[in-house]
């Protein structure tokens, strides 16, 4: 599974850069609730992808060894994390912009798609 680890490492690097931009936007602009929502959503989305990567790695090890049952990939826990983000955004609307939290949660799939296209272009050369 070194390929999965390389992909996860690239995603983590992209997300830290993006979170740094969000923190700068929160600190230096007047759109603090928008950037706080992006930070919250992206952080919890980042946690979801980290959780998925760990569960996928464990699934691969279980299948490779042939031991035991294959467990779930944690869909319920990832959904619960998204619900938690929405609850926080609705509970504190002055601090977190609701739409920004949703966009932050959806940032990771967009990063994955962009990375896929960049890697496919890189492999063609």
Domain total of the chain: 1
Question: 36 and 97 in contact (C-beta within 8 Å)?
Answer: yes
Task: Please report the beta strands in the chain, taking only residues with DSSP state E, as ranges in sequence order.
Answer: none
- Mention every residue, 6+ apart, whose C-beta is less than 8 A from residue 7: 115
pLDDT tens sequence across 8-60: 888 889 999 999 999 999 999 999 999 999 999 999 999 998 888 888 888 88
Between CA 124 and CA 122 the distance in angstroms is: 5
Nearest to 85 by CA among 103, 68, 102, 61: 102
pTM of the complete model beyond 0.85: yes
pLDDT tens sequence across 73-89: 788 998 999 999 999 99
Q: Which domain holds residue 98?
A: 2-124
């Amino acid at each position: 599974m070194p390929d999965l680890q390389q992909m996860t490492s690239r995603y983590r690097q992209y997300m830290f850069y993006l979170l740094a931009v969000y923190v700068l936007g929160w600190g230096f602009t007047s759109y603090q609730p928008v950037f706080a929502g992006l930070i919250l959503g992206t952080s919890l989305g980042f946690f979801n992808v980290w959780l998925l990567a760990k569960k996928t790695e464990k699934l691969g090890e279980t299948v490779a060894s042939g031991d035991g049952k294959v467990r779930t990939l944690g869909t319920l826990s990832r959904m619960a994390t998204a619900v938690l983000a929405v609850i926080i955004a609705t509970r504190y609307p002055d601090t977190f912009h609701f739409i920004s939290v949703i966009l932050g949660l959806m940032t990771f799939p967009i990063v994955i798609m962009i990375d896929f296209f960049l890697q496919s272009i890189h492999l063609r050369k």
